[in-house]
Copies of this chain bind each other. A is one copy, B any other.
Amino acid sequence: MDNRKKWASPGSPIFTGTRKVENLKISLISYDKQDFSFSEIESVEDLPGRIVESRVNWINITGLHDTERIEAVGKLFGIHPLVIEDVLNINHSPKCESYNDYIFVITKMIDLNRDRSMNIEQVSFVLARNYVISFQEDEGDVFNVIRERLKNNDSRVRNSGADYLLYRLLDAIVDNYYMVVESIEDKIGAYDNMFLPGHRRGSLRPVYQVRKELMKLRRAVFPLKETIHVLEKERGNFVSHNTYLFLRDLSDHLRYIIDSVESHRDMITVMIEMSMSAESRKLNEIIKVLTVISTIFIPLTFIVGVYGMNFNPGTSKWNLPELNWVYGYPAVWLIMLAVAGGLIIYFKKKKWF
């Protein structure tokens, strides 16, 4: 939180993200069963005049950094300053709050970057009787499908109200989560193969990376479940019975994603434990080799060292008489073979081979 935010009084419109697009852009799609119109709005003040009361209006605003104009939009539609503050503060958790005339929903849109890392964008919605306003800094192409379908006047969305439009926008966001979950699934699958026997094991770093991504995903998805639940409770109020059935279905999708996140988290824990157990087995293996070779050859080296001593047999009959024995050298070999053999039998009995 920068200092502007900190010293501001509550309800002050301050953008806490980083600017990603050039300018604030407002697009308006206005439709009913028969008609469909799309327009780019230049000036915020023009907006109210363009709204068609009898139709469903979708006002899509990108460029949250332009806080003044966002605030102006808020005032035009009678939106509480705290809502505008939350729209601009991109560090919010997903939530759904109902006010007298509208419902406010915060969600997190997740895209995959080219390197398959996650890119999280906050998208907020205001749903009123005949319009939906969507706010975000950078749009992405998630909503393009819906725009296409809106042009088709046979589609269900053209025959339904603003609540169904909001559902479709939420559904588009949740559908993207599937893609993210699948990308994580792929990564986990790739690392899981590393544990097959005969594969060389790499660092656990990428596994922990996936775990961090799951933590981020979880943080976006978990509160969204609750958010949809709050929205479902608006049945009969802002949400029609038909849309309610679709929201219930969306809840199911979210539950599936949450289950996947949980299950992948468990999977990663298992993988890390497996890897640590494999490391530990390998260490034992290595040290066993070291011990076997060392404990066999170190005593032998001592024995040959003894007969390498230069005590003068000429001085005293006590000095290394073995050196002059007829079978001295073969005897030493016999002793050494006995020592080595004994140790090998000992290790065999201990099942070190």
Complex contact A325–B315 (CB within 8 A): yes
Complex contact B288–A288 (CB within 8 A): no
Interface residues of A in 176-190 (CB under 8 A from B): 178-179, 182
Complex contact A298–B301 (CB within 8 A): yes
Known A263-B219, A286-B288, A290-B295; contact A179-B1, beta-carbon cutoff 8 A: yes
Max chain B C-beta neighbours (<10 A), residue from A248, A255, A304, A325: A304
Could you tell me the distance between the alpha carbons of A276 and B279 in the complex, rounded to whole angstroms? Answer: 11
Residue of B nearest to A291 (CB): B290
Query: Does A274 have its Cβ within 8 Å of any Cβ on chain B?
Result: yes
Query: Does A93 have its Cβ within 8 Å of any Cβ on chain B?
Result: yes
Interface residues of A in 34-77 (CB under 8 A from B): none
Known A259-B93, A259-B219; contact A316-B326, beta-carbon cutoff 8 A: yes
A329's partner among B11, B145, B311 (CB-CB below 8 A) is B311
Complex contact A315–B311 (CB within 8 A): no
**Copies of this subunit:** 5
Interface residues of A in 4-46 (CB under 8 A from B): 6-7, 9-11
Encode A190-224 as 1/0 by CB contact (under 8 A) with B.
Answer: 00000101001001110010011001000100000
Max chain B C-beta neighbours (<10 A), residue from A157, A275, A299: A299
Complex contact B286–A289 (CB within 8 A): no
A–B pairs, 28, beta carbons within 8 Å: A1-B179, A10-B168, A10-B171, A10-B246, A11-B156, A86-B252, A91-B256, A93-B256, A93-B259, A195-B205, A200-B351, A205-B274, A212-B267, A215-B263, A219-B259, A283-B284, A286-B287, A286-B291, A287-B287, A289-B291, A290-B294, A293-B298, A300-B302, A310-B310, A311-B328, A312-B323, A316-B326, A318-B326
Q: Lowest 3 CB-CB distances: which A-B pairs, in order?
A: A304-B305, A307-B309, A316-B326
